[in-house]
Amino acid sequence: MSQKQYNVKFPKKVFSGKGSIEELKGIVSMTGASSVCLMTDPGVAGCGLAKLPLSVLEGSGARVTVIDDVPREPSVYDVQDTYRKLKDDAVDLIVAIGGGSVIDMAKIMSVAMTNESLIEDLRAEGAITEPSLPMAAIPTTSGTGAEATANAIFLYPEEDLKVGIVHEYMIPDFVILDVSVTCGLPPALTASTGVDALCHAVESYISVLSNPFCELFSLKAVQLICRSIERAYSDGNDLEAREDMQLGSFYAGLCLTTSSTVAVHALSYPLGGKYHIPHGVSNAVLLPYVMEANLECCREQFTTLAPYMIQGIEEVPEEQWPQKVVDYLYELMKKLDIPDSLTGFGVKPEDLDYLTDNAVKVERLLLKNPKKLTKEEIKNIYKRLL
């Protein structure tokens, strides 16, 4: 049997545990930084979460520039604006505290500052040649896994399109998993970002690119997320559940660096670009439907996943486990109040062809789905949601 080839890419240092934000001081001295940019968004800044990292950074003796206006779905123009604000500051370390958008912005800035031409055209082939500035990510949501991955997503408004920029220089050098900064995440965001992380874990596990490294982290991520997502949703201050979600999301992000997402994320793209449905929400809406479509091709994988996902599954005959995985996902979305229709987001039956045509274009992910989904099958999935 031939061995699958895969590369493992990893952040250089991961600090975990309550209070680990204090490690920022050590990061400043480790990198020798004298000018630091602390990047966040108005929501995180507004609820005071940026205060602690700011005071630790200021206490380190470095000069600190704060950018606190990263929008929720940054566009390519927001990237250019942020670059203009930073370029004259001789910044030599970027620290991001926030969700996926903030971390994505920090990642692209870390390479834009050393690869100036990138800012003219983020999609230009070969524009990233120089290593990035050192960057630290402090995730406040548990979902995107942006703190572990090499990609960043930006909106091209004229094209109604979200585009992923990928380069291994964009993997954050330092990750700080401090559970205390995730407690303020509202229930609806806890649910949708948490299911996004579950999608990363499950999709990368069934992807044709799955490999032993990915399997290790995806099974653990599924276990952590499934045992805690309902608790984190119903009680945001349940620290144990929050810790599971944070670690599960990070592990699921690591899976993406060696494997890939598949059809859930592919079908999600047109929903994000045109209808501006948040990434986690569109993935959560799609997840059970796409897994049901994959069921016959994934009986073996779903059988392995079942005990990590469903408590007490051992009492059910093993041949029923794959179907139980699909049933569990439908039930979980109900419990988390994830909508089972797209109509509430302004998607209409006459949009079916637009959605299908644009999903089919996401070949990059569809080709990694274990089942080759036909155009008709993709259309049917959207149809069931209208």
Contact positions vs Fe ion (CB under 5 A): 196
Of residues 41 and 196, the one with the C-beta less far from Fe ion:
196
Tell me how far, at minimum, the Cβ of 286 lies from Fe ion, in Å. Answer: 11
8-state DSSP, 136: E
- Measured between alpha carbons, how far is 141 from 189 in angstroms, rounded to an integer? 8
Tell me how far, at minimum, the Cβ of 279 lies from Fe ion, in Å. Answer: 6
Answer for the pair 320, 358: CB distance below 8 angstroms, yes or no. Answer: no
Angle at the Cα of 346 (from 345 to 351), degrees rounded to 5? 120
What are the residues whose beta carbons fall under 8 Å from the beta carbon of 367, sequence distance 6 or more? 208
- Measured between alpha carbons, how far is 111 from 133 in angstroms, rounded to an integer? 7
Tell me how far, at minimum, the Cβ of 217 lies from Fe ion, in Å. Answer: 15
Amino acid at 102: V
Shortest CA distance to 25 belongs to which of 51, 61, 50, 1?
61
Alpha carbon 304 to chain centroid, angstroms: 24
Q: Which residue is nearest to Fe ion (CB)?
A: 196
Q: Is 343 exposed, middle or buried (0-12, 13-18, 19+ CB in 10 A)?
A: exposed
Tell me how far, at minimum, the Cβ of 324 lies from Fe ion, in Å. Answer: 24
8-state DSSP, 7: -
8-state DSSP, 72: S
Of residues 37 and 256, the one with the C-beta less far from Fe ion:
256
State whether the Cα torsion 16-22-26-27 is positive or negative: positive
Of residues 106 and 133, the one with the C-beta less far from Fe ion:
106
